[in-house]
Amino acid sequence: MATTDRRPVLDIKADLLKNGKRFSFIQAMRLLHYITRKTSHHDSDIGGTVRVRPKLSLDFPETDITTIHELSQEPERFLLTVTFLGLYGVSSPLPTFYTEDLMEESSEDISVTRDFLDIVNAPFYRLYYQCWAKYRQFIKIIDEQNPDYLERLFCFLGLGIETHRQEIYHAPALIPYIGLFSQFPRSGLGLATLLADVLRESRVAVIQCLPRKAVIPEDQRLFVGVAGCRLGVDSYLGREIDDRMGKFQINIGPVDADAFHGLLPETPMFDLMGQLVHLYLDKPLKWETKLILKADEAGTTCLGGSRWSHLGWDTWIFSDQTYPAELEVIFDEPIRKGVVPQGSTYMSEWSSPGEVGAVT
C-alpha cells in the first residue's frame, strides 16, 4: 500500500531484494529500517531487523553490497552481505589463510567458524551506521524521529517548553527557520524572508519606522505640580505623541485574486502570519499588513457574493469588469491566537519535516 509521502513499501522492498548491489550500504540500511517501521507500525531496533555479514570471497569488490535477502516476513528480517569492514573476506585485516579456511569449511557445508565470527563482526556495522547518523540532522528528525534531538532544536527556536509548542500550529515545521530565529537583533529582512517562504509569496517586504501616534502612559502625562511638568524636559501636551520607533508594515504583493482572498483577515493564512510575526518579534512593536492586488484582478461588487462584497476588505466600486490599476488595502495586526484551526487550505503545503523531506 502506498504511503502519503513515499513510494509504496512493497516496491521499495522488491527493488532492494532484486537490485541490492545498486544501493550503498547507508541507503540500504535507511530503507530497510523504513520498511520495517512502516509494516510493524512501531519503531524497531535496526540491529534486530537487519543482519549484516561480510562476503566470503577474495574477489575484488565492485560495490558495498553484494546481496540482500529476506530472512522472514513475520516479523520482517533481512540479511545484507557486504564487502567491507569484515573479519574475513577481501577487506579483512587478518591474514588471508583465515578466509581460505572458512571457504574450505563452506565447501563442506560447514559454517560454525563463520557464524562465530559473524557474532563478533555484527556490532561493527551497527556502530558504523550509528556513527554516520549521529550528527546528521535529517536522519535524527526524519528517520529516527528522536524526541531528545527535536527538543534541543526547539530550544534554538525558543520553544523548549512543551506548553509553548502546543500554542503554535505544527511547531516542527518551524525547524528549517532556526537560522532566522537565532539572529539577534531580529531584522526586517529576516521577517520578510520567513513570511515569503511560509506564505509561498516571493513579493514580501517589511517597511520599518512607520509613523504613528503613540499613546502617552497616564503616569507620564503632564499634571501641574505632580508629574511631567518640567518645560523642555518631560512636559508634553495631550495624550499622544508622534513616533517612528514602534511600528512597521508588511507589504505583500502584488498578488492575484485567489492569493489576495487567501490572505484576508479571518482566514487560516492570515492567522498563521500573525502567529509567526508574534513569535519572531523580540520587542513589543505594532504592525499592520498591506495587501496589494494586481491590476485587472479586482471584480465588480455584487451584494451577497462570496467575493468582492466584504466592505473594507475587497470592495471597490468601478464601472468596468476589471480595474486597470493595482489596488491595496491595509489591515491592523490580528488578535493573537493559539493553535491555527486545522483543515486549512495550507495544511498540505506546510507540513512536518518528516513529510516534506530532509532538513539540512
Q: Looking at the DSSP assignment, which residues form a beta bridge with residue 73?
A: 76
Residues 328, 316: Cα–Cα separation, whole Å: 10
Domain identity same for 227 and 130: no
Pair 49, 68: CB distance under 8 Å: no
Domain housing 270: 169-210+246-356
Pair 79, 69: CB distance under 8 Å: yes
Q: Which three cell numbers stand for residue 101?
A: 579456511
Q: Which residues contact 225 (CB under 8 A, 6 or more apart)?
A: none
Neighbours of 215 (CB within 10 A): 11
Residue 159 resides in a domain: no
Domain identity same for 228 and 310: no
Residues 283, 267: Cα–Cα separation, whole Å: 26
The one-letter amino acid code at 99 reads T
Domain identity same for 197 and 310: yes
Residues 340, 170: Cα–Cα separation, whole Å: 9
Domain identity same for 189 and 336: yes
Domain identity same for 239 and 297: no
Residue 143 resides in a domain: no
Domain identity same for 227 and 347: no
Domain identity same for 181 and 279: yes
Distance of CA 35 to the CA centre of its chain: 22
Query: How confident is the prediction along the chain (360 residues), in pLDDT tens digits per residue?
Result: 445 555 567 788 899 999 999 999 999 999 998 888 877 655 556 667 899 999 999 988 889 999 999 988 777 889 999 999 999 999 899 999 999 999 999 999 999 999 999 999 999 999 999 999 988 988 888 888 888 888 988 998 888 888 888 888 788 889 889 999 988 889 999 999 999 999 999 899 999 999 999 998 888 888 877 777 788 777 888 889 999 999 999 999 899 999 999 999 989 999 989 989 999 999 999 999 999 999 999 988 888 788 888 888 998 888 788 888 999 999 998 876 554 443 333 333 444 333 333 332
Domain identity same for 13 and 87: yes
Domain identity same for 260 and 348: yes
Domain identity same for 109 and 226: no
Q: Which three cell numbers stand for residue 125?
A: 556495522
Domain identity same for 204 and 225: no
